[in-house]
Amino acid sequence: MKYYEKIALVRNFIVFFSLQILLLAVIFYLQYQDKTKELDKEIYSNMQICSYYLDCKEYEYDFILKDDNLTSDRLYKDTQIYSLFELPTIDKYYLKIVLKKSKYLEKIDKIFYKLAKSFLLYALLIAIISFLFSLYTLRPLKRALEINEDFIKDLLHDINTPLSALILNLKLIKKEFGNSKYIQRAQSSIASILNLQENFKAFLNSSNLQNEEFNLKELIDRLIEEFKTIYTDIEYINNISNIKVYTNKEALSRVLSNLIDNASKYNKPNGFVKIYIDNNSLIIEDSGKGIKDVKKVFNRYYKENQRGIGLGMHIVKKISNELNIRLQIVTKIDKGTKVILKGLIKR
């Protein structure tokens, strides 16, 4: 199951399970109230019987002066649990039948624990039903995603042949007529298509990533050399020393490629892209336009410009989650953006 399918499954489960548990809690609370009222009625009935014979092992009795604030025929629950009863031949006193509060609380606890066991049993049943229901509701989404992925796979397969022919013919033209700004523009466009193609592949790939140790500076230097041919007016600064990281090289390359590409694409003329390490975090800083809505920047298909399809940053977030890299964005409009990658460098 892919990452976004897991997210959908978890969210569906939480919503359905929470609503059912809330309803169950209300039902059991009302049941608890009914049970305690039944207990009070039972205790009062037993006290009433006890008042006739005064032979009750569970209850104690006493006589108290009548008071206008006290009435018979009800159960009092204060420091003691008691009821008052009229005496047939004595007008001055009430007969007071008492149940120790500790015994009363024991009876209440029995009711509570009995209901709690039933609640936990029903909650487990609801959890199972919620999970199965969530799987069921995920099926249409999964099918739609499968259709979407099949379409992308077919598209990538069909685009390979004309793209390969285009690259080959462009090399032949360059060899025969020499390099020119028009050929460079064509190469930049091809590089953009190839980058988009890699993004689609990353979007389709599962999260079975194999880690390895490699030199981070060398990886970034290689990426910078590729982007220098596309964005000739951007100054690239790599201030990273020879440091090794342990992660999936191809996946990290996709993350950094998208981030450097965005930093270059949405930069100012003669701007810069600076890559460095601060507080064990990898930082990609640019002098570009900034991001208007940071909260939406990782959403699929979200874009603030007409260029692109809004998939790059979504893929960055997706792969970063799989690599256990935490992303933070600090940005100012017309000043630039810093993308901070935490958890990659461990010292």
DSSP assignments along 89-138, one per residue: S-SSEEEEEEE-HHHHHHHHHHHHHHHHHHHHHHHHHHHHHHHHHHHHHH
Model pTM score: 0.52
208 pLDDT band, cuts 50/70/90, is: low
CB 322, CB 329: distance < 8 Å: no
pLDDT in tens, 225-259: 988 888 889 999 999 988 999 998 988 998 999 89
Residues 6+ apart with CB under 8 A from 223: 253, 256, 257, 260
Query: Phi and psi (nearest 5°) for 284?
Result: -115, 110
Axis-axis angle for helices 101-177, 181-204 (nearest 10): 150
62 CB neighbour count, 10 Å cutoff: 11
pLDDT in tens, 256-289: 998 998 999 899 999 999 999 999 999 999 999 9
206 pLDDT band, cuts 50/70/90, is: low
- Report the alpha-carbon distance of residue 188 to residue 194 in Å, rounded: 10
pLDDT exceeds 60 at position 147: yes
Mean pLDDT for the stretch of residues 297-306: 78
Domains of the chain: 3-137 (no CATH), 210-342 (3.30.565.10)
